[in-house]
A and B are shown apart, each in its own frame.
Chain A
Amino acid sequence: MRTWIRRPRLDRLATHLVLALVCLVTVTPYLWLLSTSLKFPKEVFTPTPQWIPWPVNLGNYAEVFDRAPFGVFLVNTVIVVTGILAVQLVTITLAGYVFARRRFRGAGLLFGLFLVQMMIPIHATFLPNFLTLQSLDLLNTRVAMMLPFFASGYGTFLLRQAFRQIPRDLEDAAVIDGCGGLRFLWHVLVPLARPTLVAFALISLVSHWNDYLWPLIVTDTPDVRTLTIGLGMFVQQESGADWTLLMAATAFVTAPLMVIFLVFQRKFIESFMFSGLKG
């Protein structure tokens, strides 16, 4: 027995066409980036755009690594973003649970403050944060790049909403059966809130992968610096960018995220899709 009806041919064709178009629009800049990263400077700005690089220049990638230690930068970036995410998952889950389930005096005000934190622009906070890190003697460390982000107002907000959607009866029943508080949180709520956690993880990873100004201000030496700072070396105000090198460096900086997404995309989509179907 078929579980769903096959849609008419034309309908499927139209859908595929639209998807192909959207795909083209999204992927084209990246293809141009890859193409430029394999060109010589004289072939980049020809009067008619050249899609296939000819002659091919494999030297750009080598030159990028020669200009700055991108391998070290990659390791540092991975450490920083996974460190931030690991701590964030703990803090937002606990805070989200409290705001969703516990009543106490000042809860509303406190949650309001969490929301306000989301709206404060980074330029207002980086001097106080810098002074804090200086007094803790943590300047020029990887921890310095992570510390201000350990608590996330945005994440707390998302988790609170996710937890609120799970019926109270479920928790009451669990309490009666002897499973309360943290056990309930870990064994029931967190698995049910998985799509939210995955969504938040993606946002956190990508946004902190791209952090530039804060790492630049708080670090001095290449041994702790991150990919974006290295990338910044190829974009200059006075002369415009070093295009072939910039494209090669960008390809390198974005590749890990692309690979992660391509490898795990099934899992990501599955977790969104099946969230509603569990009985």
Chain B
Amino acid sequence: MRRHWLTALMALVLVLAFAAGGAEAQQKLLRLTFYYPVGVAGPLAKVIGEMTDKFNKENPGIEVVPVYSGDYDPTLQKVQTAVMAGNPPDIFIVEISELPTLLAMNAVIPLDDYVKKAEGGKYWDDFFPAFRENSVVRGKIWWIPFQRSTPVFYWNKELFRKAGLDPEKPPQTWAELKEVAKKLTVREGSEVKQWGVTVSGGWNDWLFEAFVRQNGGWLINPEGTKVNFDSKEAVEALEFWVDLMYKEKVGPPHSTWGSTPPDFVAQRTAMLYHSTGILTFLRNSAKFDFGVAFMPKNRTFGAEVGGGNLAIARKISKERQDAAWKFIAWMTSSENAASWSLASGYVATRKSAYDVPAMKEFLAKDARYLVAREQLQYAFGKMMAPNFQKIREILKRQLDDAVDGKVAPKDAMQIVQKQVEAVIKR
């Protein structure tokens, strides 16, 4: 009897040894961490989770672990902390004007080699030029456009009708805007019940850049070395703002980025400058018909872009970088760029994304989502420079003071010019 036991035991041991050996021969799993922010409303954490699950299934050797990292600011902090601790996330998304910060930290790798080989060389040209601009510094491509937006112009058709204006004709020029805003501002005694137009605060520096573009000017050159705040175009743009908000008083001089979409929905303002990212929110919340248009032009239509791009960390192995590129290429394929745009409300980053059937179907039902794309032909990259947060503070301070009438536009812009030059030189 004992003999049979021993044989059985030996057989078991041998089987286990082979089984264990077999397991070792299995493919090694490469685990990549992916830090991402959620910048607009919607179940985006879920969508990202679903997309990465799909990628992981299609790529058995790689497992991308998505890590929700808050909004843009906390995500940058989380990324920076991890980079400084020597353990960076393999892939991450950060707000586009932070590229100089990432470069100063030596946190990302240039992607030119990968990009050149992708999709038979046709990959990079398929992205809209305005979105490509914030990727290229010193001739190298540092990251790929992913969740992108641009400011647009919203108008309340019902309030237009009430004021005797044609609800299908939004103002096309600055002069028209002023005229229409005057007709749409409703006062009860000394209190304003309805503003004609609101230029959202919070990111009013972003919107100011758009106005300067509409006047044919620029504020910071792409390399982040020269600034142009005291130019005639910039001063004129600020003068227009001061005219609207301080002299004619057709728009509130101060507001926050989050408070103005509800103001529009509550019909507290008839026209609104805000990101294309709120279109879905407006559609779901407004009880009235509204339109989306290009921001009114002065010398030309003009806009700039915003949002976040996908980057690969520097201090990780080449193997991980290659795998990270696979993920990025997958996430930014035409189909996925289209489905991401549909799920999030961000502008699809590639021209071919608009040929994807699901996208065509959706746009046929609501053409307002097309306006942001159409405006891209007049759009430029977002201004960026080292220490950009400081520059924003300086600009916003003077913008706020100017629309309060505390400083003349020309003086305000000269102050910004001097102070920003000092910041850049450091």
Interface residues of A (CB under 8 A from B): 41-42, 44-47, 66-68, 126-127, 130-131, 134, 212-213, 216-217, 220-222, 229, 232-243
- Chain B residues closer than 8 Å to A241, beta-carbon distance: 41, 258
Contact B284 A233 (CB under 8 A): no
Does chain A have a CB within 8 A of B398?
A: no
How long is the Cα–Cα vector from A251 to B75 in the complex, in angstroms? 25
How long is the Cα–Cα vector from A236 to B71 in the complex, in angstroms? 6
Contact B81 A239 (CB under 8 A): no
CB distance from A183 to the nearest CB of B (A): 45
- Chain A residues closer than 8 Å to B280, beta-carbon distance: 239
Contact A229 B267 (CB under 8 A): no
Given the known interface contacts A45-B266, A216-B74, the answer about A239 and B306 at a Cβ–Cβ threshold of 8 Å is: no
Interface residues of B (CB under 8 A from A): 33, 38-43, 45-46, 65, 67-74, 77-78, 81, 84-85, 87, 149, 257-263, 265-268, 275, 277-278, 280-281, 284-287, 306-307, 345
Contact B77 A131 (CB under 8 A): no
Contact B266 A42 (CB under 8 A): no
CB distance from A273 to the nearest CB of B (A): 42
- Chain B residues closer than 8 Å to A220, beta-carbon distance: 33, 65, 67
- Chain A residues closer than 8 Å to B307, beta-carbon distance: 238
Interface residue from A42, A47, A127 paired with B81 (Cβ < 8 Å): A127
Interface residue from B65, B73, B267 paired with A237 (Cβ < 8 Å): B73
What number of A-B contacts does a CB cutoff of 8 Å give?
A: 108
- Chain A residues closer than 8 Å to B284, beta-carbon distance: 41-42
Contact B77 A233 (CB under 8 A): no
A-B interface, 5 closest residue pairs, ranked by CB to CB distance from nearest:
A239-B40, A45-B265, A240-B258, A45-B266, A238-B39
- Chain A residues closer than 8 Å to B149, beta-carbon distance: 238
Contact A127 B84 (CB under 8 A): yes
28 contacts between A and B (CB under 8 A): A42-B286, A44-B265, A45-B265, A45-B266, A46-B266, A47-B268, A66-B43, A67-B46, A126-B81, A127-B84, A127-B85, A213-B77, A216-B70, A216-B74, A216-B78, A220-B65, A232-B74, A233-B38, A236-B39, A237-B71, A237-B72, A238-B39, A239-B277, A239-B281, A239-B345, A240-B259, A240-B260, A240-B281
Interface residue from B72, B78, B263, B285 paired with A44 (Cβ < 8 Å): B285
Q: Which of B33, B73, B265, B267 has the most CB of A within 10 A?
A: B265
- Chain A residues closer than 8 Å to B69, beta-carbon distance: 216
Interface residue from A67, A130, A229, A240 paired with B43 (Cβ < 8 Å): A67
Contact B45 A42 (CB under 8 A): no
Contact B42 A242 (CB under 8 A): yes
Contact B40 A238 (CB under 8 A): yes
Given the known interface contacts A131-B85, A236-B41, A240-B258, the answer about A45 and B285 at a Cβ–Cβ threshold of 8 Å is: yes
Interface residue from A41, A130, A216, A222 paired with B285 (Cβ < 8 Å): A41
- Chain B residues closer than 8 Å to A212, beta-carbon distance: 70, 74
Contact A47 B266 (CB under 8 A): yes
CB distance from A218 to the nearest CB of B (A): 9
CB distance from B300 to the nearest CB of A (A): 25
- Chain B residues closer than 8 Å to A216, beta-carbon distance: 69-70, 74, 78
Contact A238 B77 (CB under 8 A): no
CB distance from B147 to the nearest CB of A (A): 9
